[in-house]
Structure 1
Amino acid sequence: MADILLTGFQPYGGRQLNPSAEVLRALDGSRIEGATVHGLLLPCSFTAAKDPLEEAIATFRPAVVLSTGLWPGEPMIRLERVAVNRASFEIPDNDGTLMRDDPVDARGPVARAVTLPVGDIIIALRRKGIPARVSDTAGTFLCNTTLYRALGACEQVDHPAHCGFVHLPYLPQQVAELLDELSEQGQLELHQRADLASMSLEMMVEAVRTTLAVSVAGI
């Protein structure tokens, strides 16, 4: 039977929650289109996240590898199409590492393209009433790093795997907490900022489940 590797991240940047971790917990161990979901919660660390990711891909030899992460300010589900060989952080990771225009892999290609059926996934999500869009930049923080590494690890197995990345919005409770912080700082007028968008956990779980179902069906 086919296996799915689903990854998410621990909280970072002083946040108490990461929606990718919550989605991971909801889907870990479930079966989608006959495939078993194996969840892997990654540390928000450039160094420490590498080996667990690559070892899981080598061990499970999954048919689908889907990584997820938070993009603060994103108002909808966002499917990435490319990862670049560049790590340049605006904030340190949870180990305090601050990469400055460094390669993810000094021996790797400039970029790698995802192998998920992105177009079919977008259609399926929108048909379910889930707002979703395609993106050509996964940034240069740990989400991009993870996608780049996952694609590289998938190239090392002897069968093709559908591999990609989904960026998730804030959870509603995260926005509520952010509004409280802004109010305490006397900055409540910032409530019109786009980065206060959010999405329910239930919708995010369904979006990731649908993404996995379309990906497995396309193998």
Structure 2
Amino acid sequence: MLLTGFEGYGGRGLNPAAEVVRALDGQTVAGVRVAGAVLPVSYAGLADRLAGEIRKHRPKGVICLGLWPGEPAIRLERFGMNLNDFEIPDNAGAMEHGPIEPDGPATRVATLPVEAIQNRLLAADIPARASSTAGNFLCNATLYTALGIVEREAPGTPCGFIHVPYLPAQVAEMIAQIRDEQTLELHQRADLASMALETTVAAIRIAIETTLEGRAA
């Protein structure tokens, strides 16, 4: 199982997606080894990096992770759009706008068992929801691109993207910064939700198990 996540970006030194990848890298889940890859937040070379990881590991499934600031739940993405519309630059300074693949389809549908994963997570008392947009930054580009690679090179391999919340320490740091700088009232912030790392790791482990069980069925 290939599990990817991004390094920190947008002034954040930490990305919970990368921490989850590091926690699960090399672990065995449902009898399958997890191969983790932490990706740079750079659009240039994204397709080559994803293709390289997929060719290297020939995984039974591909799950890509990213941070959605302010998201209070595990967010299971259903679609990747053929559109870049960056609101902030990536870590290389690029501001991408326009189609990801000029001749590609408008959308690609994730092939993870989204409903089954959500049901398993909710049964484990982990907040989870399905989403119809992965945004307009590298998370969406990763989902759209990975689905295309899998479709061409490993058809039938489940592939998708999961957004995760901030870590509590990140939110605590933001609250302290707001208090100290007195630049914004706390009630005006919409990005203060968080989830403990161990809960997020448990959620992604369940997502991997459910995906592999679905493939074996």
Aligned CA distance change for structure 1 residues 24 and 158 (closer, same or farther; 3 Å): closer
1:94 to 88, 91, 94: 91
User: Which segment drifts farther, 143-152 or 54-63?
Assistant: 54-63
Percent identical pairs in the alignment equals 52
Matched to 1:214, the amino acid is T
- Root-mean-square deviation (CA), in Å? 1.2
What does 1:102-181 align with in structure 2 at a 5 Å threshold?
102-181=98-177
Answer yes or no: is the 8 Å Cα contact 2:60–2:212 preserved in 1.
Answer: yes
Gaps of 5+ in 1: none
User: Which segment drifts farther, 47-56 or 183-192?
Assistant: 183-192
Give distance in 1, aligned partners of 2:99 and 2:167: 31
Matched to 2:204, the amino acid is V
User: Which segment drifts farther, 187-196 or 158-167?
Assistant: 187-196
TM-score normalised over the length of structure 2: 0.96
2:78 paired with 1:84: no
Shift of 1:59: 2.5
What does 1:9-24 align with in structure 2 at a 5 Å threshold?
9-24=6-21
Shift of 1:158: 4.4
Counterpart in the other structure of 2:46:
49
Report the 3-state secondary structure (helix = DSSP H, G, I; strand = E; otherwise coil) of the residue aligned with 1:90. Answer: coil
Give distance in 2, aligned partners of 1:192 and 1:126: 29
Gaps of 5+ in 2: none
Answer yes or no: is the 8 Å Cα contact 2:50–2:146 preserved in 1.
Answer: yes
Answer yes or no: is the 8 Å Cα contact 2:47–2:146 preserved in 1.
Answer: no
